[in-house]
Amino acid sequence: MNKPYVRLDKDNVMVLLVDHQTGLLSLVRDIEPDKFQNNVLALADVAEYFKLPTILTTSFEDGPNGPIVPELTQKLPDAPYIARPGQINAWDNSDFVAAVKVTGKKQILIAGVVTEVCVAFPVLSAIAEGYEVFVVTDASGTFNAMTRDAAWTRMVAAGAQLITWFGVACELQRDWRNDVEGLGRLLSNHIPDYRNLITSYKRDRG
């Protein structure tokens, strides 16, 4: 059964960046490392550009998962940072859930490592509590395409929507005229081909 089009609303959405940790990143094989890093940082830039409440979380940093990728805390210094002592599902951590609820937002953009665990588990938990959840697929990573696709299928069956960081940026922007320079700069910083487009646009306008 087809579901109605639910748009991302910049006034009602938060971003959850789950377990982008140095140890876990070594497990990501379904996307090239440089592209994956670019996509994660692009999503962080989207969150910053649209002033979206953003929560960073890690699991068992003292173990093999390792510390959070430093670029995220540098880019989002004011974001709540929940270092979970061991809970695999971030939703099992009361501090994390409290940070989510205090935002007052009902839409969730989520990305993390690895897709079938660190992303899927809180996605399913959030949906069960009535949130609209959008999984940013290209800022999430895992072992291979088979495990990724299984996770996507499971989350979609529960009601999650799959989207990319570029789709997020454009759906939140709604209209180029809202800020052509700002959005163009954000996209250009993360998509080389788009930089060519914007360069051409600026040249043609003198």
pLDDT digits over 78-137, tens only?
A: 999 999 999 999 999 999 999 999 999 999 999 999 999 999 999 999 999 999 999 999
Contacts of 23 (CB under 8 A, 6+ apart): 63, 64, 65, 66
d(CA 113, CA 205): 42
Contacts of 192 (CB under 8 A, 6+ apart): none
Catalytic residues: 118
Structure tokens, 10: 């910049």
Query: Do residues 132 and 14 touch, judged by C-beta distance below 8 A?
Result: no
Nearest to 44 by CA among 109, 118, 135, 129: 109
Work out the end-to-end distance of the chain between its first and last CA atoms, rounded to an integer number of angstroms.
50
Q: In angstroms, rounded to a whole number, what is the distance separating the alpha carbons of residues 114 and 125?
A: 16
Q: Which helix (H) or strand (E) holds 99?
A: helix 94-102
Q: Can you tell me the distance from the alpha carbon of 46 to that of 63, in angstroms, rounded to the nearest whole number?
A: 30
Measured CA distances, 122 to 41, 48, 119 (Å): 21, 22, 6
pLDDT attached to residue 196: 74
Q: Which residue has the higher pLDDT, 3 or 160?
A: 160
pTM exceeds 0.85: yes
Q: For 128, left (φ over 0), alpha (ψ -120 to 50), or beta? A: alpha
Average pLDDT, the chain: 95
pLDDT value, residue 204: 65
